[in-house]
Structure 1
Amino acid sequence: MTTTAISRALRHSGWSTAAWVLLSVAPVVYGWAILAALAGVLPARAALAAIGVGPVLCAVLLVRLALVLPHGACRGAGMLALGSLAAGAALVVLAAVPHGWGARLLAIGFTISAALCLLGLLMLPGTAPNWRIRLRRLLDGFGIGISVFYAAWLLVIVPLEGDGLGPSGPRVLLAVLVWLVAAVSLACTVLISARAFRYRRAALACGAGVALVLLGQAVLVVLVLLRVPPAALFAAAAGTVAGPALIFLGASRSGTRTDTTGVTQPSSFAGMPLLSVPVALAVVATVYHLATVGTFGTYSAGVAVLVVLTVAGREAFAVFDVRCYAAELAEQEARFRSIVAGSDDVTMVLDESLIVRWQSPAAARRFGLSDAEVLGRPFSALFHPEDAPSLAEQLRELLVDPPDARVLVSGRLRDGFGTWRFTESSATDHRDEPAVAGVVVHLRDVSANRELTHQVSRLTYSDPLTGLPNRRALLRTLAELHDRPHPWRGCVLVLDLSGVQEVNETRGREVGDAVLVEVARRLRAALAPDHVLARLGGDEFAVLVGCAPATADGVAARLIGVLAEPYAVGGGRVLLGASAGVAEFVPTATPDELVAGADVAMRRAKTLGGNRSERYDESLEVQLMRRSMLTAELPGADRRGELDLLYQPIVAVGDRRPVAVEALLRWRHPQLGTVNPEEFVPIAEAAGLIDEIGGWVLHQACRRVATWRADDRPVQVAVNLSAVQLREPDFVAQVAAVLDAYEVPPEALIVEAGEADVVADVPAAVRTLGGLRELGVRVALDDFGTGHSALTYLRRLPVDILKADRALIAEPVSPGAPAAPLAEIVVRLGERLGMSVVAEGVETAEQVAALAAAGCGYAQGYLFGRPMPVEHVEAFFDLHSDGVPRVIGPSTVE
């Protein structure tokens, strides 16, 4: 039973609400029964029986709670439930027994309830974890209770009733026995709950409830024996009613965070000083009784014997405890010695002069250092001469620090074989402890960790292919230059190679890697020693040059020329191009911003034709700020409702009727307006947001398809797949889950993958697209014809549809002229491979005629409809559709 077990069990069992309702109704029933009895409507015993239903109900709740708890944790709650049940049952049965047996019945119920409640308290978590502590609690409580009762017996009862209890002996004897049990039980209850070492609030609440039950029952027995008016009985029964409720409330609130400060382990001898007070009271009462009365009666002697036996038993148990703890200490000492002997860490003890006086056996095992080589020598003499002075100074400072101060030192220690080993040591001042009286040093060999750290640093900050620093290392260097007291003057150059991807595709990745290694060699040879060269990744390199921007432009031009020279690799010649961007180092800019500025300038150089350099200036600031704004505000754009889908129709060339639509993503930025995916999708990929945005597109498109199909518009919808999603191993499962969620058949969805993205990672593309195709989803190869490399893998790719790029149909076509030759080639290729062909970017009727002549079945472009919102595309369906379901099928003229 943990701190949250009871509350969790109540919530899961569905009883929480019912329990609180019953506990709220109990006071009402109690008050009604009292009023009915006082008004003469209900007999007094019947009213007590009605009042007894409350503890019974609380017991039922506790039993239910105990049943849903794990084994072991339920025992405490179960015993408390049985104790409450015994108390309530005694009241309920009271109405059915003769008047002469009422007090006896209540006394029996009280005794049973006391025993069960004490067992329940002992079994609660945090009160007594084992049988020794439980027995100790009972002995302490019994000793306190019997001693207090004995003092009360001598000082109160004997003067009033005499030692023989007088003429009313049986009734008084029953009352005395009840109060004896009550005194012992109450003392045990207080001791158990107050000495809980965990979950103390819950234990105190349950203990208070048990105390109310016991006190109420004891008073009730005495009042029944005295035949007092019913009103007094009802007042005494309040404890029997309120106690079980308080027990249940304490248990149900034990799920809250309790205050676990204070005692963290049960004390072994804490009960002895507490027991001495009531025993002293009993002794004082005995002396007073002897002084005033002079003799002991039978009952007084019997109670005195109980006190003596209890104290003797507790003393015997204390002796047993001492022996047990002595054995535990001996075992702990042996365990400690074995740990020290078997530990890999070396422990040394130094005196006030920092001379080694003792070392653990691990010194010989780990470092090959014998006692003869170490003992009696200064600790610093064991270390390298370069490390010894600082190490000795740190240890001397430790000696003047407060006691128990600790210092961490490191240095190279010479082992027994003459090898210098890197070590770390933790030194603690224990001179104030007589058993130690020195400085304790724990010494550890960290040579392997140090080598591993170097390897991790090398892997983290260097490029494994070229051996150059990577992007992280470049940014770290820029940060160090930024933090200099005097600003560094220089520039950042970013170089991007063109042609490396083609080398990888046509000659193989091994040849491409060899080209990159040669590029790194040429750049190192062309740069000055103080220039910093780094590989940013892929075919991008960066250079830090400590010169003015004009000089940096010259360096960039020279590097472009060096990289343009032919590469003799793989038994052939390779030609590459390069574009460069230059950004001047500005102290107010962060390292990322400096590299981003040079990257923007490099991209500007590529758009101007490449093989040139451009310098970052104010004209590019707007572009960089826009990119920064998009990067900062793209996260959460889907949740803010800023993303939108437009739909562009795909029609059959023959009759121009719609067969599908392509979902096109737009970002409705609140300040920048509409942002096209060509601008923000690369940002999303770099920021790791493309899965979230792609998932949003897939959900929206499938939801729209489901709506259209419900409205009798069975049209296909195409969504674009990013390069990152193409490499996701679980993307197929995501698509299947979305289709199932919206009950959309797989053939109603078309997934478009860009040609460049597919060629960049063909194995991943084959895996993902093949999985989608097996699922039943149609697969389209988008932008086909923008490069030459896709032809190499086209037969391997699991593709149903070729979407021919607009460049293939953009050539002028005069009326009556033959079909555009490139479009015709693509159509024939699709027919040979069993793929449908969709022509993109159709804008004129002449292009449609040429496509029809070439045998192209489907087309998409502004001639048929621009990307439009849902309402417009639905109107387009209604206007142009003939109601016959259509899908993109084999490449035939409609």
Structure 2
Amino acid sequence: MPLPSVVAAVATAGVVFALVCVVLLAASARARAGVTRRAHRLLAAGVAIGALTTAGGIVAGVAVRDHVVHGQPDRTALGGLLALGVALSGGLLLAGLLLLPGSARSRSRTLRYLLDALVIAAAVWFVGWVAVSKPARVLGEHTPLWCVPLLVPAAIAALALGVGAITAMRAPAPRGPIVWVGAGVTLAAVAGMGLAGGVCQGMAALVDASAVALPAALGVVAFAARRTDRPAAPPGPDGDEGFEDEELSRRGSAYAFLPMAAMAASALIHLVRGGTFDMVGIVVGSLEGFALVGRQFLALRDVKGYAERLRDREAYFRELAHTDPLTGLANRRGLLTALEEERAAGAEAVLLALDLDGFKNVNDMRGHDVGDAVLVEVGQRLRMNLRPGDVAARLGGDEFAVLMWARPAEAKRAAARLLGALGGPYEQETGTVFLSVSIGLAGCATVPDVTTLLRNADIALRWAKSHGKNRVELYDIEYDVKLRRRTELEHELRGAIDRDELHLQYQPVVILPDVRPVGAEALLRWQHPTLGKVGPDEFIPLAEECGMINRLGAWVLHQACHQLSRWLAEGHDVWVSVNVSPRELHATGYVDQVKDALRAHRVPPQRLVLEVTEHAVSTDVEELIRRLRDLRETGVRIALDDFGAGYSSLGQLRRLPVDILKIDHSLVVKEMVKVVVAIGHQFGLEVIAEGIGEQPQMAMVVDAGCKLGQGYLSGWPVPAEHFEARLESVSSPARVVPVPGQKSDRDQNAGPTSRRAQNMRAVDSAREMRQA
């Protein structure tokens, strides 16, 4: 078979192959979405037109070879038709290439790609024009005629080369499929130029070679495009512009120097050898210059926009670093910055420290989402109730602060208004939330630095919260002194037990009216080597706040049981009561702790009385009743201390499992003791009147029928040995008073009996206490 026939057969097979690639690309487009689908459709259309153009080129090549077409005008007409097909195919392929994933992703980026490609394309076109024009004429007799049908495919081929090169350089890794698509588009454009040029020049061999190369190039495009399924790189924080900024900052502009250098060198050689520039060369050179100018303009605009965005980002992050993200108020850093600036300016300012009372319950009961919503509304109310120039800040959690440019008196009035504004109800989807706020004020006129100002405001806030909350307190130096002492006491209290600084004193509980001791209340005392005597009203609340009350209570319980076991072993008919805090009582292991103490010191349970204050009744009545019942099952007696202080009611008194009722001294003063004694006896309780300090009170208590009393008139709290000496010195009574809350094993109507109870065997309770 002749060679032309073989070439024609191969070219025809290539056309069929290209049409198959069209079907594959169309199917690939249906399986994709968005921009990728449009890219595959454009590539499919470009491949289809390229295949049809190849088929037309095959027919035109046969006509030229068989001399069916005579004369340059006829060949030019056929070449023009082929050039039109090449232009349409190349344009569609270029558009599809620019829309593929990993290529240009926006219009602005596509414009930049095209300008960069135009720089390369113009340089390639100009160098080629110089090479084939006079006087170079590197192709000699085969120099093509510069007809319109040849110019268009040449321009498409040069542009395809530029787009392919720029896409390959700019595409993010891995860029293999994009590079292959660009190479295929470029090869297809070059083959199309050869196809149209061969027909125009009557070069059948060039037509045959191009007709074989063009389908192969279209196949490369089709198969490489199916592999470009990788998603495009994610945009930067500012969208595609942010990505462009990053790309601009890391890429160079060397690609523009090489084309310009090639154009300059070829133009210089062309002029030296006597060549001239016609309209085509001038247009191409001008196009190169305009492309460079346009690209430079876009680059300068990119740099300017990048700088503006950098400034905006810097301002945003600076604001973010000084702003609370939840409420939009200033944060601690922003407040410190405002304070430092104000201190430098020398203006008079007052700092308000605010804390929401009970906010933890909102988070625990309603959830943190509701808590955050409440905090946001607190920030809004602060903004609405402050003057222009005042700085509101959220320091963290439910702690806020306000910097006011005002005198302390004026700031205190503004703080009082904030109490009402922030203390109003907060309407939420889950219901209404009620909160109060505590505020501490401190002026900056007398403080040496900002740290001291913050500390003073915080001290005033703590003072406000510790004295009832929902109030405003102005910092005073006295608060500082008390806080220092409180801090020192807390530190020293943690080691007081180990340093043997604590001891118990016992205040007698006497039978009335002869004031004979029958029991004692164990009272904790602290003697510090440098601080001196520290009152229980000072360190007991502190122990409750800092979590040491359980440890102190356990120590008191063991010490009291140890002393009680010694008195019982010596034959004294006496009982001891121990105060129990609400925190101890609600501890899960307190009942076992009492059992262990009784067992370790071999104390009969009925000889130990546990005193519970009315404050414990106010916390959780049901839980309190369960714990008291568990304690009574051990055999110990329960006393309700300070009855009448305002917490318990008669209904609760009926439900509470108690054995002894201790009347608060305020009821004794008010001459209400007779009513309370009658109520206690009605409920079957033993009654002890507290706070008896004068003879008229003693007479009032005796007249009310109260058999037991306690107070300074009958005995001060004394060390154990002093109380024991009083027990020894008491003369033999006519009768022995039973332990409150239980019947005595002796007959109260019997004649004179011995002062001592039946002697109990000695107990080494000290050793057993250490073991416990």
TM-score range, shorter chain: 0.3 to 0.5
- Give the TM-score of the pair, scaled to structure 2: 0.47
Higher relative contact order (CA 8 A, sep 6+): 2
